[in-house]
Amino acid sequence: MATTAVAEAPRMAGMRFGRAARRYGWTVAVYALLAVLMVTTIIIKPDYGAFEWNTLTLAALPLAFAAAAQTMVVLSGGIDLSVGPLMALANVLALRAMLGHDLNYSLGVALIVLLEVTLAGALNGAIIVLTRVPDIVVTLATSFIWAGLALLVLAKPTPGIPLDVQNLAQGSALSPWVPNALLLLLVVPLVWIPLRRSRAGLAIYAVGSDRNAAFRSGVNLGLSRVLAYSVGGFFAACGGLALSMTTGVGSPLAGTYYTLSAVSAIVLGGVSLAGGRGGILGVVAAAYILSLIPAVFIYLGIDPNYGQMIQGVLIVIVVMIGGLGAVLRRV
């Protein structure tokens, strides 16, 4: 009996390691890639300092939130084309309500905006579940609704986010190396990690990977999908508020660039577009990588348009390596 236990232990450990590698391998690889790129950047630009690190975090912040929003929906087997317009909606609602008010009032406004746009996300999910129209069609349609609503709230870009609110993202209260924007980004793991470990989070994965199996295991499909869209709406709202804080203005077209960039970030971050696979933490690193590339091109004095090509090449290479890994595992 003692001998079997001894023999069993390493095998168990081996299995656990294999599972952990499968589950977290990509995330670790993305962080490793980010680390390598950071080191490369520092070699290229030896005076890389707190200012540059703050620049990178400010640029990555809205993209990371947009990508987190998209990740939630994609994990549940859907796709949300309205992430950008939801960000714009949060952005203009915040401007309209915060204009001329102080910090405390504005924080109250931010909470209400988060709630409103979370509900808008829930509505996306509810329409999809109730009408059974494909996600891509519904969110394409609602993207026009949210964008139109944003234009109704605010017709043109308007300044007026209170300075104290802007400093919540632009300053660095603790240390120059810990920009406030980085602290704001902690919202992502603070929401994600508890959700990931809960039954509801597991249900979102289950629905995304195999809807029939999830249904037969007693998962409430509709509720899980609406939850995924709601949390997605919440992250999109965070992204819109991040834009308010980093630019100081409300703009009805604020989120335009983030719907598709978010898809790039989640693919690079290891989320399977087929659903049910991946996590948010790798996606955050991917947002940093995608923001670092144009910066490096400017440091090198090269047209950042090439940076966009490099991003494309990078995504293709990473996805190909990921696909190769999946094939090898199967063999």
Partner 1 sequence: MAALLVAGFALVACGGSPSNGGSTATKYTVGVSNTLTGNGWREEMICSIKAQAKASGVVSKVIIANRTTDAAGQIADIRNLISSGANVIVINPSDRDALNSVIKQATDKGIVVVAVDQAVSEPSAYVVTNDQVAYGNLGADWLAKKLGGKGNIIEMRGINGVPADTDRHQGLTAALAKYPNIKVVKQTFTNWSLDPAAQQMKDIFSSGIKFDGIWTSGIDSTVVDQFQSSNKPFVPIVGADNNKFVQELATLKDKGLTGAAVTNPPPIGGAGLAVGLATLQKSHSYDHVIHLTPQVWDNTTADGAAKLAQTYDSTLDPYYSVAFDVKPYTTYTKQDLIACQGPG
> Does 256 engage in binding with partner 1 (CB under 8 A)?
yes
Burial 83-96 (b: 16+ CB within 10 A, else e): bbbbbbbbbbbbbe
Only one residue has tokens 């007026």, namely 160
Distance CA 146, CA 86 (A): 6
The rounded Cα 73 to chain-centroid distance in angstroms is 10
> Does 21 engage in binding with partner 1 (CB under 8 A)?
no
> Quick one: which of 23, 194, 299, 326 contacts partner 1 (CB under 8 A)?
299
> Does 236 engage in binding with partner 1 (CB under 8 A)?
no
Nearer to partner 1, 209 or 308 (CB): 308
Give how many residues touch partner 1 by CB under 8 A: 50
Please provide residue 158's backbone torsions phi and psi, each rounded to the nearest 5 degrees. -135, 130
> Does 319 engage in binding with partner 1 (CB under 8 A)?
no
Nearer to partner 1, 121 or 252 (CB): 252
> Does 92 engage in binding with partner 1 (CB under 8 A)?
no
Whether the Cβ atoms of residue 261 and residue 290 lie closer than 8 Å to each other: yes
Nearer to partner 1, 224 or 251 (CB): 251
Beta strand ranges found along 222-273 (DSSP E): 249-250
The nearest distance, CB 257 to partner 1, in angstroms, is 5
Residues 148-187 that bind partner 1 (CB under 8 A): 156-157, 159, 166, 170
Distance CA 23, CA 278 (A): 8
> Quick one: which of 247, 259, 264, 272 contacts partner 1 (CB under 8 A)?
247
Distance CA 40, CA 38 (A): 5
The nearest distance, CB 171 to partner 1, in angstroms, is 10
Q: Which two tokens stand for residue 212?
A: 């029939």
Amino acid (one-letter) located at 52 = E
Nearer to partner 1, 106 or 230 (CB): 106
> Does 318 engage in binding with partner 1 (CB under 8 A)?
yes
> Does 282 engage in binding with partner 1 (CB under 8 A)?
no
> Does 96 engage in binding with partner 1 (CB under 8 A)?
no
> Does 243 engage in binding with partner 1 (CB under 8 A)?
yes
The interface mask with partner 1, positions 98-127, x = CB under 8 A, is ------------------------------
> Does 25 engage in binding with partner 1 (CB under 8 A)?
no
Cβ count near 202 (within 10 Å): 15
Whether the Cβ atoms of residue 74 and residue 209 lie closer than 8 Å to each other: no
> Does 308 engage in binding with partner 1 (CB under 8 A)?
yes
The nearest distance, CB 227 to partner 1, in angstroms, is 29
Q: Which two tokens stand for residue 11?
A: 């095998």
Cβ count near 319 (within 10 Å): 15
Nearer to partner 1, 134 or 148 (CB): 148
Whether the Cβ atoms of residue 104 and residue 165 lie closer than 8 Å to each other: no
Q: Which two tokens stand for residue 259?
A: 């719907």
> Does 300 engage in binding with partner 1 (CB under 8 A)?
yes
Give me the numbers of helices (H) and strands (E) for the chain, helices first please: 14, 2
> Quick one: which of 27, 58, 64, 109 contacts partner 1 (CB under 8 A)?
58
Distance CA 10, CA 2 (A): 14
Q: Could you list the residues that contact partner 1 (CB under 8 A)?
A: 32-33, 36-37, 40, 44-45, 51-52, 54-56, 58-59, 62, 156-157, 159, 166, 170, 243, 246-249, 251-254, 256-257, 291, 294-296, 298-305, 307-308, 310, 314, 317-318, 321
